[in-house]
Amino acid sequence: MNEIMTKDEILLAQSLIQAFSPSGAESPAAKVLCDAFAALGFDESYIDDAGNAVGIFKRGDGPHIMLNGHIDTVPLGDESIWPYHPLSGEIVGDRMWGRGACDMKSALACMAFAAKDAVEQGFQGTLSVTGVTLEEVGGLGAWHLAKEQTADVIVLGEPSKLKLMLGHRGRVEVHVKSKGAIAHAAKSELGKNALYPVAKLLAQLEHLELPSGGILKGSTLTPSFLESHPKSTNVVPGEAHLVIDYRNIPGDDDEHILERLRALAPELEFEIPNEALTSENGKVVLEGRSSRQPFLTPGENALVNLARQTIKEGLSGFGHAFEEDCWWFATDAPWLAEMPNTKGGKALVVGFGPGEEELAHTTNESVPLAHLPIARKVYCDLAMAFAKTMS
């Protein structure tokens, strides 16, 4: 067997992949992760009220550095079209396959061992690893964690191809309703087809000018769902329902988005619906709009510059060049950035993770084995560098 295939972080990643944990049913993966924390000698290892797996090393006075990821995954999809079973964690060639391989159980496995490595190298302060729940559907786990914990710096391990990540656009789910009048399709003039106003809106959306500029480049929108009622092929639809997936940059907030869209079709109803998330055990509930905020880490910041230098040095030892970017998808970063730090301010959040984000949520989800030992080393280096600088 190839030596890399026996590395501890790879074996733990396999175990996490094999622990089926779709959003809202994460307890199998939480148990695997907490068991690993205990085996690695963490001072505390527990599952909180939101179902988050929490492991903490306490090594005297110093800052609190948190390594964070999510333990929930999207559904498996059609298992028949996966190259390898989605819950196998199977290793084929130079990749490990399965749901959560890159998004983002491999990162959590690396973080657990990186924390142990840092403590063995003399880390001073508090070092935690947190695997949160319900990230894929709104972020209840991170929201709860930010209310219950403090941290000075949080390293978020979403897949990034080993790049430093400093932000992402938000996501707003806009629902559009069109009301018409039902009639027999053979006598359509007796009704009012609810699809026609939606069709006119769709034609305008394709060419709608949206806010642009900056590191996140600009807002975008995608019509992602359309249905009509009643569901019959010989009836004039009396109602139509369109969903727009809107990705927004800072400053392009919910009310501006609704105002811009309503101006295109005043006769239609536009809203951002409310949603409620509940933890698997029913103890924690998060209610609010179906809207996730954009996020940007201050680029010109001493700690961000330290992250740049630390990651660059860590990658160079493996022959990888340093790169910096922003994620094109939403993450838990906005929730995590609300976590209080130990000085009375807010936590700084930076991103770095193994795996290619383009494979997340697909039936080809996998992660390069070579990324895992690199991520383990860099996570350890970041924890040590932040702790030394902030002490």
Whether 184 and 331 share a structural domain: no
- Please, are residues 64 and 390 in contact by the beta-carbon 8 Å criterion? no
201: in domain = yes
Question: What is d(CA 358, CA 43) in angstroms, rounded to the nearest whole number?
Answer: 36
The helix/strand/coil state of 263 is helix
Question: What is d(CA 320, CA 307) in angstroms, rounded to the nearest whole number?
Answer: 16
39: in domain = yes
Question: Residues 269-303: pLDDT tens digits?
Answer: 999 999 999 999 999 999 999 999 999 998 889 99
215: in domain = yes
The first and second tokens of residue 226, run together, are 């359309």
Whether 135 and 14 share a structural domain: yes
Residue where one domain finishes, among candidates 274, 306, 325: 274
Question: Residues 71-111: pLDDT tens digits?
Answer: 999 999 999 999 999 999 999 999 999 999 999 999 999 99
The predicted structure's pLDDT at residue 1 = 38
Whether 111 and 162 share a structural domain: yes
The predicted structure's pLDDT at residue 171 = 97
pLDDT above 50 for 2: no
pTM above 0.85, yes or no: yes
Whether 94 and 79 share a structural domain: yes
- Alpha carbon distances (Å) from 15 to 116, 261, 318: 18, 46, 26
List phi, psi (to 5°) of 238.
-95, -10
Question: What is d(CA 182, CA 192) in angstroms, rounded to the nearest whole number?
Answer: 7
236: in domain = yes
The predicted structure's pLDDT at residue 298 = 87
Q: Kindly report the CATH number assigned to the domain that includes residue 363.
A: 3.40.630.10
235: in domain = yes
Range of the domain at 186: 171-274
The first and second tokens of residue 180, run together, are 């018409």
283: in domain = no
The predicted structure's pLDDT at residue 3 = 53
Q: What is the mean pLDDT of residues 204-221?
A: 96
Whether 20 and 145 share a structural domain: yes
- Give me the chain's average pLDDT, please: 96
Whether 371 and 245 share a structural domain: no
Whether 223 and 342 share a structural domain: no
The helix/strand/coil state of 379 is helix
The predicted structure's pLDDT at residue 7 = 86
Whether 156 and 196 share a structural domain: no
Whether 179 and 146 share a structural domain: no
Whether 104 and 55 share a structural domain: yes
306: in domain = yes
Question: Residues 327-377: pLDDT tens digits?
Answer: 999 999 999 999 999 999 999 999 999 999 999 999 999 999 999 999 999
Residue where one domain finishes, among candidates 220, 239, 274: 274
Question: What is d(CA 112, CA 105) in angstroms, rounded to the nearest whole number?
Answer: 11
Question: What is d(CA 326, CA 304) in angstroms, rounded to the nearest whole number?
Answer: 14
Residue 230 CB-half CA count within 13 A: 8
Whether 300 and 343 share a structural domain: yes
Q: How many domains does the chain have?
A: 2
281: in domain = no
pLDDT above 80 for 63: yes
Whether 270 and 310 share a structural domain: no
Residue where one domain finishes, among candidates 242, 274, 306: 274
